Structure 1
Amino acid sequence: MISKQEGPWAFGRTRMTLTFQKEVAERMAARILSDQRCRLSVMCQNWCNVNYKFDISGAAFLPKPDVDVGVVTLTPLKHPIIQLPFKMVEKVVRQIFSMRQKYSIRGAQTLFPEDVREEMALRMYKMADIDPVTRPYQIANMEFCRICHAYNEIIKEYPEFEHYDYRAQKVGKKVVEQEV
């Protein structure tokens, strides 16, 4: 709803202070080069300022959970860093982080069909001015912005790639699209 500015976010930037399992809260607030940086970090920080406030021991709750809690304040941005539809941003970021420890281009390649995978991923990275041997957790949010916009430009030129899903069932050589 934040990405569409609907519900409580239709008229302004309603701030939220929420509790999460400590590890999830740390991932939400993780900055570039952090061990905790992941898809969740980029997605949260694209639409909100994420401020990790403090920890609460699990002993403070009854019944006591097996985990500690992190308190996070999320303040929606006036405009997201990546001003593209949520679904497209999520797809690009998910695929790039799908191979977190490998070069980021390896995950980006899965955005495209096998026969053009390497060529199109290199083209996208060149358009975005990103080094293909960068690891996903080393990519700043503004760099993800450039990657997403490059992907969007490629989709305009090759609309058949928009719904490509490398995980879709393959029948012979034909790809059967899964319903979304």
Structure 2
Amino acid sequence: MLSLKQGIFNSPNVSMSLMFQKEVGDRITAGASDSSRGRLSVVAQSVCDAFKIYNVPASGFVPRPKVDATVVQLRPLEKPLLKSSLGSLEHVVRFSFMKRRKMLARIFKDWDPERIALLEECEIDPTLRPQDVSTEKFCELAHIIEKRGIKLPY
């Protein structure tokens, strides 16, 4: 696996303040159990601390857009949570969030009933929905799946 500390991430005390459409900023910064949490949240938070700095109303722009904006600060984690490749994590969260309203036990059981043991090995409660799982646990699950060469559908 390539080091995640490449390019701008290799510089000390670097941070990025970026403006996004408010809904995108909400997704990037959403924590576990937040209804806005999704693939973008998990992937971004696996390598960076992500938090909102401030909101910018649509009235602050000329011409005025139809949506508000938010400024999000991303700071690379000193020690990234990601132990697998970014591609493996993205694949695991895509698989999990494709059925975001179902419990993880059902998602994994539909794929392969024996694979529920992966959740238990990572100490992930199978009755949780994907949005309720922490970024750390998704990273741990991706690491185990990659290490064992398990292929997820989709």
TM-score with structure 1 length normalisation? 0.76
- What does residue 172 of structure 1 align with? none
1:108–1:70 Cα change, 3 Å? farther
Contact kept in structure 2, 1:20 and 1:71, CA below 8 Å = yes
Determine which of 151, 155, 170 is the counterpart of 2:145.
151
- The one-letter amino acid of 2:140's match is R
Alpha-carbon separation, structure 1, partners of 2:120 and 2:141? 9
Deviations 1:5-51 (A, max 9, x none): 33222334521000000011011111111111111111111110111
- What does residue 16 of structure 2 align with? 16
- The two structures, once aligned, show a CA RMSD in angstroms of 2.0
Matches within 5 A, 1:50-89: 50-89=50-89
Contact kept in structure 1, 2:100 and 2:130, CA below 8 Å = yes
1:109–1:147 Cα change, 3 Å? farther
Alpha-carbon separation, structure 1, partners of 2:79 and 2:107? 27
> Unpaired segments of 5 or more residues in structure 1?
156-160, 168-180
- The one-letter amino acid of 1:118's match is P
Q: Which has the higher contact order (CA 8 A, sep 6+)?
A: 2
Q: CA deviation at 1:152?
A: 2.6
- What does residue 103 of structure 2 align with? 103
Alpha-carbon separation, structure 2, partners of 1:11 and 1:62? 35
Q: CA deviation at 1:150?
A: 2.6
Contact kept in structure 1, 2:46 and 2:136, CA below 8 Å = no
Matched, 1:138 2:129: no
Q: CA deviation at 1:55?
A: 0.6
Q: CA deviation at 1:129?
A: 2.1
Percent identity over the alignment is 30
Alpha-carbon separation, structure 1, partners of 2:78 and 2:106? 33
Contact kept in structure 2, 1:125 and 1:132, CA below 8 Å = yes
Q: CA deviation at 1:140?
A: 1.2
- The one-letter amino acid of 1:147's match is L
Q: CA deviation at 1:109?
A: 5.7
Alpha-carbon separation, structure 1, partners of 2:91 and 2:108? 10
TM-score with structure 2 length normalisation? 0.87
1:19–1:62 Cα change, 3 Å? same
> Unpaired segments of 5 or more residues in structure 2?
none
- The structure with the largest alpha-carbon Rg is 1
Runs of 4 or more above 6 Å deviation? none
- The one-letter amino acid of 2:83's match is Q
Alpha-carbon separation, structure 1, partners of 2:109 and 2:11? 39
